[in-house]
A and B are shown apart, each in its own frame.
Chain A
């Protein structure tokens, strides 16, 4: 919200408001000042001039030579506009002035001296377009500074008003805050309007539900003057980001900015009768609003209606049919109070937020309605010398708007960590217009109407005291609870360690949005796989790409490698640890599973001066899997169970099984998907359920004495059918290798000329050891023979000579 200091100054009994001090005091008391804008500076060296005379430029039919009186002297100015006449008051930019970032200089235009420039509204930044120069009111004093003459000698404060302070959404509200902060008296008009309420019954206001509309006040203005708003008023609106329209609209806006109470002006003659009804909309009832849209309403929307139809959506926007126009003669001014949550709901439902709805949402003080009408009358009288009728119509079901709260002085010290003197607390509350008295270390406070919604409890008053006392004056106190021991849980520690370990072995961590499109799931055929089918759907996604919560990380990681390949980074190892989501039964929160995804593509090793190039393949990925596994399952068995997934290569696709628990999947991305996603190179992917992986870890690490006797290592190469799996051979070797066999390591696979077609040679290194003695070669020979025998029997294997 923007307010100007001059405007605020009208309500404060203060000599001078120092912008920086005011800004800092507001910020440090909870009304953050985002920006301080010195408007006057923009109009430096622009003064009021009087056109003395003008004649055509000798060399140009478009230009005129003007003589302009600026009080201290008369200037010759070449001007391209035609819309002025002798004696007009104009804004003259003198040499040195800055107009649209260009510095004005004395120069020659087509051979004629020009000592300045007569400015248009656009050039002065007062409108986005304008024809001709700006003609000012004849009351403007020649030679005076332009900004001062038209109310632009001002400072604009841009404020952030928190939702608990609807009272601060107004110039008077801010003036009230400042009055508390700097100790200056707040002056608002004291109007005695009781005598004027409902003194005639020419107009009727009917309210169906006082819960939704606690108060509706209105006033008739007949034969309104058909004049423009004065420049100063327009300028104030412009400074507060409101576009001037016509006198009545400008005044409703101006007064709303000033008091915080939204007003709406109806063209009285367009209303069906002398009656306003505040009621719920009929289901499906529609209304054309002033922005020319047809709005279809639900029966929980509140409307302002005449006896024929809805003429406004209460608190949100007026109707087109009853809108003020240049032909409007009689105006019905509405100043009403609507129930915030209802306005919020309707505004959300029809997707329409307005300055008014934004204010009503936050619950406005119903005491403001008539006061605001009075301000409107005052201003109308001031700018148009217009006297109105006496009667103000007011339908108000009186509600209690005063609240008593007891504040314990001790509580203030308890919450803030610093004891504050009762007298000081009482003084702060008094400055906040909260009347109070001290009684036995308890302050009995009475909250005024304008803070009724916000200040309900003792703690609310503690906050008021704290923010005015100043947070910077409160002590910084080490917390006594800090003698506790902080730590990561085992789960958290493991996640952190896995992340770190994966980085150490060369992977880069990515983080993607949790959202995915249905199309993407389809593209990866994930939608066809059981276990990934039940997706969680967002009701109001940003767009189709963000429609679902992802059931797996694969598509995002594929996109990551593709994007990077497009940037010519082609050798990539990435991982992500994020939640994936699966639908639960209705009404329950979805399942969230913490998933680790790893993807490899491109080269595992670049060609180097001493290294051979090598592409990533399945075994690089499996190596990473084994690496993680060994850290946490030093004695656990890891198996890849063959299982086809539609997104994996049909022959390179499996389930990761650790200690008989399926914890993930691993495989090569299906070539068709590589093609369809235009990735252009093979990729390998693995996904591990971190919850299962970590929760299944057993504390198995135990000390075993370091072997004292040497081992005997035997190399064994056997020839078997190509289709025999290494895993089966190893299991068989283990079976017949006795407990003396401590380690088996595959060190070579050979296929080729030296052995038959369809066969392969598998070479294993076997390590035998006894913890109690040195083994003899002869006993190992017996074991190895037994191994060979069983391999021969099982796999038709023979030893390779």
Chain B
């Protein structure tokens, strides 16, 4: 063995002993303070390894690289072992600290507001969004109307039998509370050219007050006018709507009906969800629930607004919002909608 080999061997042995001692002692360490002591002892300024590294310059040149490498490896090992240990102790310390910070998760949270949009607004907005998705815009009109827009221009002149279906509130001989949202059809057509797709939500008024009638209620009217619009388009639009609002599983049927300002006219039913169409108390045995009235715009109306009935055609529809709410949620008294009992409103 050369002198060089001898020196190296000696150094290796010393390092090994040092590491063995370190490993043994590290195992007995119980906390961060003891760990700190070990850190000082083995890689502190005065420790063997650090001193060796510091004094490496004094060693003979042929030993320097090997000695440096060996002691460095040893120091790195000590350092990383200590870090590992430190992490473990720190975790334990955190855990102990956080354990003491436990709270009662079952306590109620601090209250924020519990506001609620009125059920009517909710359903109106839902319907608006369905139709917006189909390309409709939203039009509005006055709640106090002229006889002309409410009746006359809708093919219902004075003395027309359909007038007795609408018990009307009058402001004067020619001014009244609109009995439906349909006057907006005329107003909109007067100021716009086809193609047009609109829905018209709003309050309407009829002189009636009992379980199934309130003097004010909410309607949504729809109007589509373009070249070549036909009854098939009406069916598609309203079927799509009914499926969106009541569910794809509901059947939809169109029944002939009469409205003065549409022809052909229809009433639209969806299958009763209570009995599944077999007939029950809710659908009065028919298996169907009426949801809206519709029809092709009567060509006469075009003469009031200056459209050419041979060029354009269209359809219109209207529905009662409260009725749709009632069918959806099983509400049995229309008056509840306007009593504003928070115990009612907050259910939806």
Contacts and interface: CB of A to CB of B under 8 A. Distances in A.
Contacts of B285: 35-36
Nearest to A164: B258
B237 A479 contact: yes
A546 interface: yes
A567 B339 CA distance: 12
A54 to B, nearest CB: 44
B146 A589 contact: yes
Interface size grouping (class) on chain A: 35 or more
Interface in A470-497: 471-472, 474-489, 492, 496
Interface in A521-579: 536-542, 546, 549, 560, 563-564, 567, 569, 572-574, 578-579
B137 A507 contact: no
A459 B137 contact: no
Interface in A145-165: 162-165
Nearest to A578: B203
Given A487-B132, A592-B144, A471 B266 contact: yes
B89 interface: no
Given A474-B235, A539-B170, A482 B144 contact: no
A477 B171 contact: no
Contact of A479 (B107, B117, B224): B224
B159 A340 contact: yes
Interface stretch (A24-32, A659-667, A751-759): A24-32
B343 A567 contact: yes
B346 interface: yes
A513 B338 contact: yes
Interface string A255-279: 0000000000000000000000000
A463 B260 CA distance: 13
Interface in B216-273: 216, 224, 226, 228-233, 235-237, 239, 253-258, 263-267
B348 to A, nearest CB: 11
Contacts of A472: 253-254
B195 A514 contact: no
Interface stretch (B11-19, B26-34, B118-126): B118-126
A457 B140 CA distance: 32
A623 to B, nearest CB: 12
B72 to A, nearest CB: 45
A499 B117 contact: yes
Contact of A163 (B125, B161, B215): B161
B343 to A, nearest CB: 7
A414 B216 CA distance: 38
A467 B159 contact: no
Dominant secondary structure at the B interface: mixed
Contacts of B171: 536-539, 590
B56 interface: no
A162 B256 CA distance: 10
Contact of A509 (B107, B116, B233): B116
Contacts of B254: 471-472, 474
Given A32-B255, A417-B230, A486 B197 contact: yes
Interface in A428-482: 457, 459-460, 462-463, 466-467, 471-472, 474-482
B239 A476 contact: yes
A507 B108 contact: no
B258 A163 contact: yes
A581 interface: yes
A489 B198 CA distance: 12
A503 interface: yes
Contact of B110 (A34, A342, A477, A611): A611
A489 to B, nearest CB: 7
Contact of B159 (A27, A345, A471): A345
B145 A538 contact: no
B154 interface: no
Nearest to A163: B161
A549 B144 contact: yes
A569 B232 contact: no
A539 to B, nearest CB: 4
B342 interface: yes
B121 A499 contact: yes
A418 B143 contact: no
Contact of B135 (A483, A508, A542): A483
A470 B116 CA distance: 44
B285 to A, nearest CB: 7
A505 B117 CA distance: 11
B231 A416 contact: yes
Contacts of B133: 486
Nearest to A166: B161
B181 interface: no
Nearest to A581: B144
A344 interface: yes
Contact of B256 (A28, A414, A480, A489): A28
A475 B235 contact: yes
A725 to B, nearest CB: 30
Interface in A349-376: 361-363
Interface string B318-348: 0000000000000000000111111101100
Interface in B101-121: 107-108, 110-118, 120-121
Nearest to B198: A486
B117 A500 contact: yes
Interface stretch (A601-609, A678-686, A700-708, A716-724): A601-609
A510 interface: yes
B230 A416 contact: yes
B232 A418 contact: yes
B192 to A, nearest CB: 13
Contact of A560 (B111, B195, B255, B340): B340
A647 interface: no
Contact of B226 (A363, A478, A481): A481
Nearest to B230: A417
Contacts of A35: 284-285
A481 B175 contact: no
Contacts of B146: 589
A697 B276 CA distance: 50
A542 B215 contact: yes
A512 B162 contact: no
A415 interface: yes
A502 interface: yes
B317 interface: no
A506 interface: yes
B197 A481 contact: yes
A610 B111 CA distance: 11
Interface string A394-437: 00000000000000000000111110000000000000000000
Given A502-B115, A506-B114, A589-B175, 10 more contacts: A344-B161, A459-B299, A474-B231, A486-B132, A508-B342, A509-B116, A564-B340, A567-B343, A569-B343, A589-B146
8 contacts: A163-B258, A166-B161, A361-B161, A416-B264, A417-B231, A471-B256, A606-B111, A608-B110
